[in-house]
Amino acid sequence: MSSPRLGVAILTMGDRPAEVAALLESVARQRTPATRVVVIGNGTELPDYPAPVSTVELPENRGVTGGRNAALAALHAFGDVDVVIDLDDDGLLVDDGVFTRIQEMYATDPQLGIVSFRIADETGHTQRRHVPRLRAGDPMRAGEVTTFLGGGHALSARMLEETGGWPEEFFFAHEETDLAWRALDAGWKVVYEPALLLQHPRTSPARHAVYYRMTARNRVWLARRHLPLPLIPAYLTTWLLLTVARNRSLPGLRAWFAGFAEGLRHPCGPRRPIRWRTVWRMTRLGRPPVI
Could you tell me the residue ranges of all domains in the chain? 6-203, 206-284
What is the predicted pLDDT for the residue at 247? 87
Q: What is the CA radius of gyration of the chain?
A: 18
Share of the chain above pLDDT 70, in %: 98
- Which strand ranges, in their side-by-side order, compose the sheet holding 189-199? 53-58, 36-42, 6-12, 83-88, 152-156, 112-120, 189-199, 143-144
pLDDT grade, residue 248 (50/70/90)? confident
pLDDT grade, residue 132 (50/70/90)? very high
pLDDT grade, residue 121 (50/70/90)? very high
pTM here is 0.96
With 90 as the cut, is the pLDDT of residue 262 above it? yes
What is the predicted pLDDT for the residue at 2? 82
- Residue 261 CA neighbour count, 13 Å, CB half: 5
Cα(282)–Cα(147) distance, integer angstroms = 10
DSSP symbols for 58-101: ESS--HHHHHHHHHHHHHHHHT--SEEEEEETT-B---TTHHHH
**Best mean pLDDT range from 10-14, 134-138, 243-247:** 10-14
Cα(153)–Cα(232) distance, integer angstroms = 28
When pLDDT is averaged across residues 100-128 and rounded to a whole number, the result is 96
The contacts of residue 226 (CB under 8 Å, 6+ apart) are: 178, 181, 182, 185, 271, 272, 273, 274, 289
pLDDT grade, residue 249 (50/70/90)? confident
- Rounded to the nearest integer, the mean pLDDT of the chain is 95
DSSP state of 160: H
Counting Cβ atoms within 10 Å, is residue 123 exposed (0-12), middle (13-18) or buried (19+)? exposed
What is the predicted pLDDT for the residue at 138? 93
With 60 as the cut, is the pLDDT of residue 231 above it? yes
The CATH homologous superfamily to which domain 6-203 belongs is Spore Coat Polysaccharide Biosynthesis Protein SpsA; Chain A (3.90.550.10)
Per-residue pLDDT tens over the stretch 184-228: 999 999 999 999 999 999 877 665 568 999 999 999 999 999 999
When pLDDT is averaged across residues 263-278 and rounded to a whole number, the result is 97
What is the predicted pLDDT for the residue at 127? 92
